[in-house]
Structure 1
Amino acid sequence: SALYILGGRIAYEFVRINVSAFLPNIQSIQSSTASSENYLTEGHFDFNRVGDYFNSKKATLAFCVEDCTATVSKIVYDTQTDTFIGFPLPLDQNGLPIAKLYSTDSFTCLENWYLNDPIAKSLGAHLIQPLSSSLENTSPYLLAVYGTNNKFKSPDVIARWGYIYRQCKAKGVRVIGYSSDCDSRY
């Protein structure tokens, strides 16, 4: 499933066609990924699993990183969370995106969103890297990912970093630094 997640459907199918009987079919991978306990909810900062991840890596120190990247804009329906993904999520008082905001069973409401709300042009990702004295390389933990229009201000970032610090500290993880790109708002 790592090839499917990292390379995408086309790359997976290309490898599967050329190396027959080596990889399971797409439907099996999609079913496995969808039923996985590691399912991502757009805009949800998964602090509950941070402690478990860091305990498994025998680490207590962390470095956080956040960045945005341009995406191909589109709206999709997420059956697991009953929400529409692809609209930029507004930020709350902690500088975090408001998850599951675009949930409705009304076609009129969806149509109104399409007509009046912008489509996210960027994908915001927040990762937390365990720092360990061991020689073992550890992968960062994906804390959250969400669509954004990249409209935020410095106070949003400071509030978010403070919130991340407090939530991680409650899980036994001490954040010692933050990293981002060269955006002046950081």
Structure 2
Amino acid sequence: SFIDNLINNISQSPNNFRHSEPVKNFAMCLYFLGGKQVYEFIRLNLYGAIPCLSTLGELINNSGTAFNEAQFNFENLRQCHSDFGFCSEDTTGVIRKFEYDSKTDCFVGFATPVNRGVPLPRFYRANTFNDLKTIYDNNEIAGLLNVHMFQGIPTEENSARVPRPLLLSAYGVDNRITTINVLYRWMNIFQQCLKQNVRIIGFATDADGRYLSAMRLGSGFFASSFDLQLDANEHAFKINISTN
């Protein structure tokens, strides 16, 4: 238990601290939900109760929960055990900073470039200091974080159990997003989810004008685009529901 783990470590030096698997899982949850400052406050005031930050970083990297910036984790949709669901997208302000990600050998924290609305992962690579200086001088450090979530819909056989939400992707952005980029990105998410046998019912977001315009274009509600005929898609206006 947590108390037993604490008592066992009190008489040990920090190099000999040992933590059980439940304590390690608790430590990761505490860090995810409370952040670095909360984690350090508890660690410093409960000597030996939870791992240090360097050990915690190794636990996170080895747990399979670490994400790469701008990479969509569609393969994790299988964990939701749901064939239907909604996707949401929202942006929040963050402290501007960039750092080196040793896992991907890239720099993260800059505004992520997009191709037809889809963010490009592992974009900022630098082999020399001059390469990094060029990146820094010519690209904006992101002041916004764009987050994509998936929420599955309960099945009729297990209607009381709501599937847990899933983080699909997160990446830094600037405020230059366009309506067409939003719509292309949603179309890509829809198609990628279909490849995982998951049907997206709809997209949810806030009342930002660009998102609203994308919804109008997608639904044909007093708006249209000659190169985006979504009503002609084979999956439009129908959902195949299993009879099993």
Q: Give the match for residue 123 of structure 1.
A: 145
Find the counterpart in structure 2 of residue 111 from structure 1: 133
Larger RCO (alpha carbons 8 Å, 6+ apart): 1
Larger radius of gyration: 2
What residue number does 1:84 align with? Answer: 107
Matching of residue 183 in structure 1 with residue 183 in structure 2: no
How far off its partner does 1:5 sit? 1.8
Q: Distance in 1 between matches of 2:54 and 2:140?
A: 32
Question: Of the candidates 29, 36, 40, which is equivalent to residue 9 of structure 1?
Answer: 36
Q: Which residue of 2 aligns with 1:102?
A: 124
C-alpha contact (below 8 Å) 2:85/2:153 kept by paired residues? yes
Letter of the structure 2 residue corresponding to residue 19 of structure 1: L
CA drift of 1:150 comes to 2.3
1:25 aligns with 2:52: yes
**2:80 equivalent in structure 1:** 54
2 CA distance for matches of 1:121 and 1:89? Answer: 11
Residue 97 of structure 1 and its aligned partner are, at CA, apart by 0.7
Q: Does 1:74 align with 2:101?
A: no
CA drift at 1:34: 1.8
Report if the CA contact (8 A) 1:127-1:141 is conserved.
yes
Task: Give the structure-2-normalised TM-score.
Answer: 0.71
How many residues align structurally? 181
1:136 to partner: Cα distance: 2.4
User: What's the CA shift for 1:129?
Assistant: 0.6
The gaps in structure 2 that reach 5 residues or longer are 1-27, 212-244
TM-score, structure 1 normalization: 0.91
Shift of residue 109, structure 1, vs aligned partner: 1.4
Q: Percent of counterpart pairs with the same letter?
A: 34
The 5 A counterparts of 1:163-182 are 163-182=188-207
Counterpart position of 1:144: 169
The 8 Å contact of residues 152 and 162 in structure 2, kept in 1 or not, is answered as no
Instruction: Specify the SS of the correspondent of 2:63.
Output: coil
The structural deviation recorded for 1:169 is 1.0
For residues 184 and 111 of structure 2, the distance between their equivalents in structure 1, rounded to whole angstroms, comes to 19
In structure 2, distance between residues paired with 1:15 and 1:83: 32
Tell whether the 8 Å contact from 1:54 to 1:173 is kept in structure 2 after alignment. no
| Aligned equivalents of 2:165, 2:152: Cα separation in 1 | 6
Please give the alpha-carbon distance, in whole angstroms, between the structure 2 residues aligned to 1:180 and 1:35: 32
Paired residue type of 2:194: K
Q: Is the 8 A contact 2:80 2:164 kept in 1?
A: no
Q: What's the offset of the Cα at 1:111?
A: 0.3
In the alignment, is the contact (CA less than 8 A) between 2:114 and 2:120 conserved in 1?
Answer: yes
Aligned to 2:65: 38
Q: CA RMSD in A?
A: 1.4
Gaps of 5+ in 1: none
